[in-house]
Amino acid sequence: MQNSAQGIKGDAIFRGFTLLLACSIIVILLLMTAEMVKESLPAISRFGWRFISGSTWDAVQEEFASLPYLYGSIVSSILAILLATPLSIGTALFITELAPRKVGAATAALVELLAAIPSVIYGLWGILVMTPWLQSTIQPFLIEHFGFLPFFRGAPYGVSMLAAVFILMIMIVPIITSITKEVLMAVPSSQKEAAIALGATRWEMIRMAVLPYGRSGILGAVILGLGRAIGETMAVTMVIGNTPKISLSLLSPAYTMPSVIANEFAETTTKMHASALMEIGLILLFVTLVINFLARMLLWSVTRKWKGGVA
Amino acid sequence: MILRSITLRRTANLSATLLMGGATLLVLLPLIIIFYHIVKMGISSISLDFFTQIPKPTGEAGGGMANGIAGSAIMIGMASLVGLPIGIFGAVYLTEYGTGKLATAIRFCADVLSGIPSIITGMVAYSMLVVPLKGFSALAGSFALSLIMIPIVLRTTEEQLKMVPATLREASLALGVPLWRTSIKVTLRSALTGVITGVLLAIARVAGETAPLLFTALGNQFWSKKLTEPMAALPLQIFNFAISPYEDWHRLAWAGALVLVVLMFGLSLAARWLGRSKHS
């Protein structure tokens, strides 16, 4: 039976071939991490912990520390998540529980399309439309009425932490919404029907049957959104003002980790400068790895056959 | 549970309903505004020159982004040559043999990988290709894009392959067709439209990527003659022109944004249409 022997041999080759390609995913992940660690070693050994706690960034003196970038990334992402989460959950509930099927499907399709718009286009709109508008209306309003708070002090520049928060919020809402929608659709209808049969109003049904069931999945979606916000580069770079200062005021320009990489990495003059930027990249990689790990764990526990990639 | 009056419960229900509807409006509003601006500014700025000319020097009116469009097409094409086979056949492995711990690890890594900021992919491509080749190049740009493509293609293709009915594959195996031929001729073939859908979505995703090209392809004001030279790309040009202080360049950036958005929506719609026609 030469034919079947050939088949078995072919199968073994095919299996090995596809396994090799599939494993490349793991190789890529390890390779990326190794490469980032290797390139940041000079900076790590020279600056140590000072790199995270200090705020000097001086390419001439070769003295680098990243606190302002860390601060900018953390503050902008967290504020954006705080604004985006209620909006996203509300929209996802509207799509799955409230809207007539066709309206829900149309809204969902629109949200999906929006998640696909490249960040450079959000940035273009942000810098040419949103920041001038913030500068002429929103920021003067905030200064006039809430200027006694430390968060709204200073002059209206337009480009600012506030602009970054807004643009990030607009960008991550579609992502959180579409994943939350998937999670909510996985809630068994028997749970919902039981609540309705007991005489619950629609809101009570959502509160008692839908949200508790989807809790960990929604948390996963929010954490995934956080990961996106922290790693978001182009749009933020275009509207945040790129000034490495730590300021409580949301109206002052700031800087984030991806932005400083985007602005300086192509034009580094010294090895140490490049290595310092690599270390910022390494911190960013580490943070996003942890965040994605957590998010995927939560999401996988909800829907075993989780759709990856697109989200 | 304390019984609350029906009026209170109804009020709570009504306000929750209004809040959900309000949230949806708040979400869709900025997005509609963004669309409006892209379409309005884009259409008023676009012309035939946009597709045939390269950018004019500062201060001169007119010019286009022909080199950026071509550059994007070339780099996406090269990234696809590497990224698509790896992603698609990796997915075949996961569907045919993917039951063990290794397969779970691969799936998990793919999901985690697709969440890594693309600027980091750019840095890795820089230190792996730009430094050794001693210069920014289209090659490095395509390499970065292919790294981004692989996990997306892998996961979407696997989803599609899993939808092929087991009976179809069993029938082929029962006829004595080896597993590898069954995979290619039956499983991949019957999921073909689905696989193409995944490919289109992956292309749509990398077509708009800017961050990984910043220090790999770098961008180019002129035509590139070789793959080892810096190359222009549409998203890079949009970025550079948007942050420039010149009104003419802003207009070109809007036109570029319109082209990019139309391209992405075209790809998404094509993907959706393909995905739908399979089930009807």
Query: Which residues of chain B lie closer than 8 angstroms to A93, CB-CB?
Result: 20
Residue B253 tokens read as 């950036």
The amino acid occupying position B11 is T
Residues A310, B9: C-beta atoms closer than 8 Å: no
Q: How many angstroms separate the Cα of B16 from the Cα of each of A98, A114, A189, B25, B264? A: 10, 25, 20, 14, 35
Query: d(Cα B32, Cα A301) in Å, to the nearest integer?
Result: 35
| Contact residues, A window 121-150, toward B, CB-based 8 Å cutoff | 121-125, 127-129
Whether the predicted pLDDT of B213 surpasses 50: yes
Q: Say if B183 is an interface residue toward chain A (CB within 8 Å).
A: yes
Architecture of domain A29-52+61-305: Orthogonal Bundle (1.10)
Q: In b/e form, how buried is each residue of B212-225, taking b as 16+ CB within 10 angstroms?
A: bbbbbbbbbeeebe
pLDDT at position B275, please? 72
Partner A contacted by B268 (CB < 8 A)? yes
Quick one: pLDDT at residue A66? 94
Distance of alpha carbon A58 from its chain centroid, rounded?
29
How confident is the model over A6-26, as pLDDT tens digits?
A: 677 888 999 999 999 999 999
List the single residue in A32, A113, A292 with the smallest CB-CB distance to B124. Answer: A32
pLDDT digit string (tens) for B33-75?
Answer: 999 999 999 999 899 999 999 998 877 778 899 999 999 999 9
Quote helix, strand, coil % in chain A, to nearest 5: 75, 0, 20
- More confident call, B275 vs A99: A99
Per-10-residue mean pLDDT for chain A, 311 residues long?
Answer: 68 92 94 96 94 91 94 97 97 94 92 89 96 94 90 90 96 95 90 91 92 92 95 96 93 96 92 96 96 90 51 39
Which whole number is the average pLDDT over B195-216? 93
As given in the structure block, the two tokens for residue B165 are 């009915």
User: By the 8 A CB rule, do A266 and B215 touch?
Assistant: yes
Alpha carbon of A45: minimum distance to chain B alpha carbons (Å):
19
For B152-200, what is each residue's pLDDT tens digit? 999 999 988 988 898 998 999 999 899 888 988 999 998 998 899 889 9
Give the start-to-end residue ranges of the domains of chain A. 29-52+61-305
What was the pLDDT predicted at B280? 38
Instruction: Give CA–CA dist A156/A175, Å, rounded.
Output: 30
- B130 part of contact set with chain A, CB < 8 Å: no
Q: Please check whether residue B173 touches A, CB under 8 A.
A: no
Phi then psi for A64, rounded to 5 degrees?
-125, 135
Nearest to B154 by CA among B71, B84, B258: B84
Q: B37 at the A interface (CB within 8 A)? A: yes
At how many degrees (to 10) do helices B247-279 and A101-115 cross? 130
Q: What distance in Å separates the CA atoms of residue A237 and residue A74, rounded to the nearest whole number?
A: 15
Helix, strand, coil fractions of chain B, as percent rounded to 5: 75, 0, 25
Alpha-carbon distance B192 to nearest alpha carbon in chain A (angstroms): 18
Phi and psi at residue A63, to the nearest 5°:
-120, 115
What is the value of pTM for the model shown?
0.93
